[in-house]
Each structure stands twice: as structure tokens, then as C-alpha cells.
Amino acid sequence: MKSLKKYLGLFIVAALFTSGLFIQSCSEVKSTELQKTIEANLTYAPYVPNKINRDRPAKVIVEMEVRELVGRLSDGVEYTFWTFGGQVPGQFIRVREGDEVEFRLHNHPTSKLPHNIDLHAVTGPGGGAVSSFTTPGHTSVFSFKALNAGLYVYHCATAPVGLHIANGMYGLILVEPEEGLPPVDREYYVMQSEFYTEGGYGEEGFQPFSMEKALDENPDYVVFNGSVGSLVGDNSITAKVGERVRLFVGNGGPNLVSSFHVIGEIFDAVYQEGGTSVKQNNVQTTLIPAGGSAIVEFKVDVPGEFILVDHSIFRAFNKGALGKLAVSGPEDKTIYSGKTEDKLYNGIEDQLGAIDRRSGKYNNTNRENYVSKYSSEAQNVDYSSLAEAANSSHKEESSSSVSDIVKMGKRVYQTTCFPCHQSDGEGIANVFPPIKNSDWIEKNGKAGMIRAVNEGLSGEIKVNGKSYNNIMPPQQLNEKEMTAVLTYVYKQFNNSDETVTAEDIAKYRAGKLMAKK
Amino acid sequence: MRTRGFNKIKIVGLLIVFSVTGVYCQSGMVKITAGTYTPLYVDDTTDQSVDVDAFLIDKYPVTNEQFLEFVKTNPKWKRSEISLLFADNSYLAHWKSDFELGESVNPNAPVINISWFAAKAFAKYKGKRLPTVAEWELAAMADESEKNGYGNPNYIAKILKWYSKPTPVFLPAIGSNKPNYYGVYDLHGLVWEWTADFFNALVTGESRGDGGINRNLFCGSGSIGATDFKNYPAFMRFAFRSSLKANYTTSNLGFRCAKDL
């Protein structure tokens, strides 16, 4: 069988060679008839393979391995991902219009299931799915001609297809137009998708797929590049002031449509739906369908952090759809000044009387009464009960180690608190107060912190000499998470050995834990 | 006197235990009563369900040890001499050699890396046969307490959980899951299993009526003609079976035998 193939191959090569000679002797060789064979360089998100510099098509070989693996969906949360290439999203493929692509799909022997690939860039039944259907421990090979330029989604299409996509089997293939794309300084690969887990957002441990939530199209996670936080902190994408940035943005779905937006930037150009012409300039938010894509380009003019979001905004705030573009370079105050002034505005109610912060209702007594009432209450601290609480909390600690609590606190912080207070605890100047070395925390103590987390905090406060006037919503944390995150905040950001225990919370609820002066 | 009496009882008791387990050991099979099975894919022109006669099925999947015994007595099925027509390159690849399991292989774990031909030969050697898709599916419908567990969403969720996990490097021994209604172990939760007519995953029993069914249904079209859109495990088994050829072997595919009553 094998030797037969070999002979057949030799025969074809010989035939091509002679016909090639024949053509050459008769007329000039057309550029498309002498094809180079090259191996595609595949990249993992957020990186994109280099621009194609060929002026003619080639035969491009793509090798991709399907792996099923347990990985991180969020800090402390694990999920079984089915992947193209070992990560979610799958590797970025870049070919040129007219290329002949030989696709070799390997399904790793440890896979539980057969898989295949449907590339939206393929013209042919199933987009390659039929020809690439591969049982574990096998390889399928098929070829297609990249007839249409554009940015295309690929995904696994094995039944039940929704499950294969929901578990992470998607990625992008760019078929670059013959004439290429306009030059830019940076290109990145961002892919949105949802995960349907049995436990709610942030619920720790291994989370199995929830078929019920998938059928309801109600995910707990909406993320960029496969997990919460995969595009923030050290993983942020970067650019320098003055550079042009191009984002290849895909939406793997399986269900939701993305309202893709970069906070503080305007897309100079959008290749809508991943097509090859710029359909619109100056776009704030572009819609990316499930199983679709868009190419957006913009020049970064000022330094700072630009947040990538799905502007269906609860997904960004509560489900993980956040990324960060960090731009470095000199400021340009004519384009963006930063905050230039901050003065008191007390509103009309100031003339009528202060607002009672606790009830949110107008207080008929005047402001002085209001202030003195609370300061006297604050002086009325029962220090003996505090000391008792501290003692008992130390006893408790010996059973569950402080480092475990701090670890958990870190996870809670990085899923709940960091969007405003930032990973370093410094907050955002003039908008969200720092909780690092915060005199507010020192003054208000455990009770203040528990109140802020439990009931939220709004109105003007002073932290480290600066005024902030914003709203912190109540946080949906259970008792354990609350104690962990507050202990973490003390330890990590305030250089303090103070711990917040379940007992503290019980005391607070009973009205026995008061703010320190 | 007293002690002797007790001893007698003990002996009789032991004899009963031995003879009872002896019967089970000998056959190692349990009876599945006649029933109907509705295939995942049906043709409009045929009846939706298939009648299945009562039959016997192995309580457990075939183990490495059992298969080794088969290879030793039927050496033409040893790894080094198998024709590629009957099994591909990964046939029994987890064993140390032709007649040795090696230390990393649990003799009591289900045998894997087995082709359909090899499974069929083993069954024949044992005077048995492979179960049909309909038989296998009928036996596997049962959860721990009922003949048809598919009405129980927890049952489907449990199977789905196993299907969603990658294959472990070392498979556990047979019988570590709870038996189902019939007393059959490990139909779900251990390995995939070969069936006699795996290639006809779409066949409804009336082969003349199956001409119009397309095996290559992918993406959204995979639900065309399906009888139960929510039975994801059934879709996955269908997909798995239709990805196979008879000489294929994979690291999570084993088998068990069946027999006519």
C-alpha cells in the first residue's frame, strides 16, 4: 500500500516536472504555477504570525493538535478545555489569498472524543469538517484553496457541536488579501467566548460543563482569550504612543454576540465582520457575531490603560470580559488633560439638610448635627470586645492556616475588587480610592471595611488626603470570602497582621463591632 | 457437638456461596430483558424504535489479563505479528511486549488499544459475540435504579461529566463504578466499547430504509433527524462510533461480549 503510494507520487512528480519544462520552453512561467511549500507558523493569543511577504501563493502546511486538558478558567477555578493546539483560543493561522492549505489535524491519543475542524475560510462541504473527522490517536489530512480573503473563525463541528465549542474549540484564520493589509505597528489576536459552568462565577474548584445554562444561553463566564485575566496585568497587550494598533477580534460564542469596545479609544477603521474592506471609520463599538470576527485599527495618541470590554457591560464587570492595552510614552495634554480641577459640589440638598448616608433619605437636622452624631458614636468603641475578638480569631487561625486564607483572599480580590482598586491596590487616581496604605482603612477599621463590602459605600470620602466621590456597590460575597479578602487587604496592602474573622462579621451584624477612631 | 454443628453449617454455607459465585464466575454475564431502543438518528420512512430480544451481556468490560490469556492461546493476535488490515499501529501499544503487560498496566483494568477485529475474535474464542448498538444502548439506558434512566437529568449529567474528561494515563480497574439496574458495571464512566455494528451507527434495524441518512452530519446539521436533541451523551457516542474504522485502536476504547439466550 505504502510503496504503491510512493510510486504514484514519483509518477506525479515526474509528470509535473516534464510538463513544467514544457511550459517553460514555450512561454513564461506564470507565478502561480511554481509553488513553494512552507510550514505555517502558528501563534497563541494574543500574538499574531508575521505579515506575509510573498508576492505569490504557496502550498502551506498547517499542523494542529487537538488536546483535551484541565486548565485554569479563573483563579482557583478549573475546567476541562478541549483545544486546538493546547490553549484556548486555538492557534492563529495566517495564509495568503490563493494559497493551497494542506491541513493536518492530529487528535491526541489521550482525547476522549473524536474531533474535526470547520474553517469558515474553506469553500466545501462542512468547511473541512467531513474530511477532518478524527478519532483519538489518529491524524486526518485534507487540502483547500484559500479562495476568499478575510478573517475567519474556525471551530470543531463534531456532534454535539455546541459542547465542542463551549469547551474551547475555536480560533481564527486570516486569509490575507493578495495586496496585503495596510502596515501597522502592532497586531494582536483577541477572541471572546463564554463558558457554562455548574458553579457560579468565581466558585472555586473544578467546574463541570452545565448543559442547562448552555441551553439557556446564560453563561457565568464571558472572557477574552480563554480565561479570566488572560489579557490583564502582566498579560496586557502593549503599544507606544503614536503607534498604529490592529486587533484581530473573533467571537467563538457559542451563543453570545459581542459588543466589542475599547474604553478611551475610537476605532479609526473597522473591517466589519472580518471582511476585506473598511466599512466604517470612527467607530466606538463594533458588533461581532458568534462565529464571526472583525478587524479594528486605531492609533494610540496618549499613554495609559485602555480597557477592552464587551460593552454588554455586565459581562465585563461581572463575568470576566475584560482586557487591557497598556500604552506607554509621553503625555499629550492637548488631547487628554487628565483631571484639572476637583471642587466641592454639595447639591441642592445641602441647603435643605444633609443626606443620611445609611438610609439614603434626607435628614432634617442640619449638617453639624449629622456630623456630631456620628463622631460621638464612633468614639463609643467597646475596646474590650475588640480585644476578645482578636484573641478568639487567633485561636481559630491555628486550625485553618493564615496562608490559605490569604490565598483565597487573593483570588476573591482578583475576581471582585481589582477592576476598581487595581491589582496593586493603588486604585485609579481621582476615581477609585487606593486601599494600599490607606488611612481610611486605618480610621474605619474592620467595621468600616465590612460595611463597605457588605452594604456598599457612596458619597464623598477622603483617603490619604484626597477626595473621592463615587459609588461602590454592595459585593455578593459569602462570609468566608469576605473574611479572606479583608484579611488579604490588611496583609497585602496595609502591612498589617490584622485578620478579619467570621466572629468579627457576626459582631458587626449584631451591631457590636464599631469603627475605630 | 456444638462446635461440630456450627462447622457443618459453615461448610454448607460456604458451599452455597461457592456454588452461587461459581455460576456467576463461569458466565460472568447478566440477562438484559427484551425492550425497545430508539436510535438517535432515524429515517422518516422507518419506525422510530427497535425491538431488542432478551440477551446476555458481560458484567464487566474485558480486562488486560483476560485478553492476554487470549493472545497467549491465539498467538496470531499478538502485537508484533498483527496485520495492519486487522489492527493499526497502536494495537495493544500499552503492553510491555507481545505476552507481557508490564508494571504500568493494571491486569484488572479494561483492555484498550483493541481493534474491532480483535474484539470480535476474542468474543468468538469465548463462544460469545459483540453486542449490537441496539443491545448495548438498551443495557446502557439503565441507571442504578431504573431500566430507563434517560428520564433522569442527573443520569445524563453524570455520563456527560465522564465524556467531558480526558482519558486518564492509567485506567482504573473494572467494577469501580456502581452497577446499573441489571447489575452491569462500567457501561459508562470507564472506556468506550466496541459494538458489532458500530459502523451502522445510524441504522435503525431496517437496512433497506436507511439509504437516505447521511453519516457526515456536522455542526448544526448534526441535529437533523435526531430523535432526542438533549441526549448529548448519545450524540457523543454516535460521533465516536462514526469516527472509527474496524482496524482502528485507541487508548480509551475497549469492549465486552454478549450472547444469545
- Residue position matching grid coordinates 496485520: B83
Confidence of residue B140 (pLDDT cuts 50, 70, 90): very high
- Of B219, B230, B248, nearest to A135 by CB-CB distance is B248
Query: What is the domain count for chain B?
Result: 1
- Amino acid identity, position A117: I
Domain CATH code at residue B240: 3.90.1580.10
Q: How far is CA A511 from CA A354, A371, A382, A442, B111, in A?
A: 24, 20, 11, 20, 65
Res B131: pLDDT: 96
* Residue B8 within any structural domain of the chain: no
Rounded-to-integer distance, Cα A300 and Cα A297, Å? 10
Residue A394: which H helix or E strand, with range?
helix A383-399
Pairing of strands A466-472, A457-463: antiparallel
Residue B145: inside a domain, yes or no? yes
Q: Give the per-residue pLDDT at A388.
A: 53
pTM for this model (two decimals): 0.70
| DSSP state, residue B6 | H
Please say if the pLDDT value at position B30 is more than 90. Answer: yes
For residues A413-419, give the mean pLDDT. 83
In chain A, whose CA is at the least distance from the CA of B245?
A135
Tens-place pLDDT, residues B39-54:
777 655 556 688 999 9
**B7 part of a folded domain:** no
- Report if residue B26 sits inside a domain: no
**Hey, are the CB atoms on B222 and A160 less than 8 Å from each other?**
yes
Enter the C-alpha cell of residue A481: 470570602
**B190 in a structural domain:** yes
Most A-contacting residue of B85, B113, B164 (CB-CB within 10 A), to test interface: B164
What tens digit of pLDDT does each residue of A123-134 get?
Answer: 988 888 888 999
Angstrom distance (rounded) from CA A490 to CA A405: 12
| Sign of the Cα pseudo-torsion (B98, B102, B105, B107, in order) | positive
Q: Is A124's Cβ below 8 Å from some Cβ in B?
A: no
Range A164-181 average pLDDT: 96
Cα A188 to Cα A249: distance, rounded to the nearest angstrom: 8
Mean pLDDT of A269-277: 95
User: What is the pLDDT confidence band of residue A400, given thresholds at 50, 70 and 90?
Assistant: low
Q: Is the peptide bond before B75 cis (omega within 30 degrees of 0)?
A: no
Give the per-residue pLDDT at A183. Answer: 96
Helix runs in A268-365, H state only: 314-318, 349-352
Within a domain: B248: yes
Residue A348 has a pLDDT of: 54
Who contacts B113 (Cβ-Cβ below 8 Å, separation ≥6)?
Answer: B90, B91, B92, B93, B94, B249, B250, B251, B253
Give the cell for residue A239.
Answer: 503599544
B55 versus A372: the higher-pLDDT residue is: B55
For residues A410 and A408, give the distance between their C-alpha atoms in angstroms, rounded to a whole number: 5
User: Domain span at residue B170?
Assistant: 35-51+61-200+228-260
| Structure confidence by residue, pLDDT tens digits, B144-175 | 999 998 888 888 888 888 887 788 878 899 99
pLDDT tens readout for residues A199-216: 999 999 999 999 999 999
Angle made by CA atoms A321, A326, A327, in degrees to the nearest 5: 140
Local structure of A83: helix, strand or coil:
strand
Sign of CA dihedral A92, A209, B194, B234: negative
Amino acid residing at A155: H
Ramachandran angles phi, psi of A313, nearest 5° = -75, -25
Query: For chain A, what is the mean pLDDT?
Result: 84
What band does B260 get if pLDDT is binned at 50, 70 and 90?
very high
Q: What is the model's pLDDT at position B222?
A: 66
pLDDT at A69 over 90: yes
Q: How many angstroms separate the CA atoms of B184 and B179, rounded?
A: 5
Query: Chain B contacts of A109, Cβ < 8 Å?
Result: 90, 167, 250-251
- Please state the rounded mean pLDDT for residues A43-72: 95
- A211–B251 C-beta distance less than 8 A: no
Asked if A69's CB is within 8 angstroms of B248's CB, the reply is no
Is the pLDDT assigned to residue A150 strictly greater than 50? yes
The dihedral over CA atoms of A73, A78, A80, A85, expressed in degrees to the nearest 10, equals 50
In chain B, the N- to C-terminal Cα span, in Å, equals 47
Q: Is the pLDDT of residue A299 over 70?
A: yes
Q: Which residue has the higher pLDDT, B27 or A149?
A: A149
Is B206 among the domain residues?
no
Which residues in chain B are closer than 8 Å to A209, comparing Cβ atoms? 160-161, 164
Residue of B219, B238, B249 with shortest CB distance to A129: B219
Are A213 and A196 within 8 A, CB to CB? Answer: yes
User: What is the pLDDT averaged over residues A79-88?
Assistant: 96
Cβ atoms < 10 Å from Cβ of A45? 26
